[in-house]
């Protein structure tokens, strides 16, 4: 399952959903397109999405490029550096192309996720 991450006015990145948390990945994929206004925390970009899911195979660590869902805040998260989650997340995929774009994201930039 591939998707495009567009930071409006700045560019696009590509990502692929995986099976680390298959139910979470499937639910998000079925609800694409999704969009939101970026929040930035250290080397992570996230935004709230209208999907409420529980923990599946929660992880308290991340690696550069991870796409994740954070159940307490109903948030879609993109880890683009050394940042770690503030609490456990469901990892659902990885950025496969143009991860550098995420370093340009500023607070309230519009992000659109869509199926390729």
What average pLDDT does the chain have? 97
Residue 16 near residue 2 (C-beta atoms within 8 A):
yes
pLDDT digits (tens, 9 = 90+) for 92-113: 999 999 999 999 999 999 999 9
Average of pLDDT values for 21-43?
A: 97
The domains located in the chain, with CATH, are 2-115 (2.40.100.20)
Global pTM value: 0.96
Convert the pLDDT of each residue in 51-95 to its tens digit: 999 999 999 999 999 999 999 999 999 999 999 999 999 999 999
């Amino acid at each position: 399952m591939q998707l495009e991450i567009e930071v409006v006015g700045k560019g696009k990145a590509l990502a692929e959903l995986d099976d680390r948390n298959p139910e979470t990945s499937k639910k998000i994929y079925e609800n694409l397109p999704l969009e939101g206004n970026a929040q930035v925390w250290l080397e992570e970009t996230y935004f709230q999405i209208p999907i409420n899911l529980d923990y599946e195979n929660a992880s308290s660590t991340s690696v550069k490029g991870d796409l994740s869902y954070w159940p307490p805040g109903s948030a879609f998260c993109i880890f683009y550096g050394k940042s770690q989650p503030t609490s456990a997340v469901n990892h659902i995929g990885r950025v496969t192309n143009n991860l550098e774009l995420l370093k340009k994201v500023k607070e309230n930039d519009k992000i659109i996720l869509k199926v390729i």
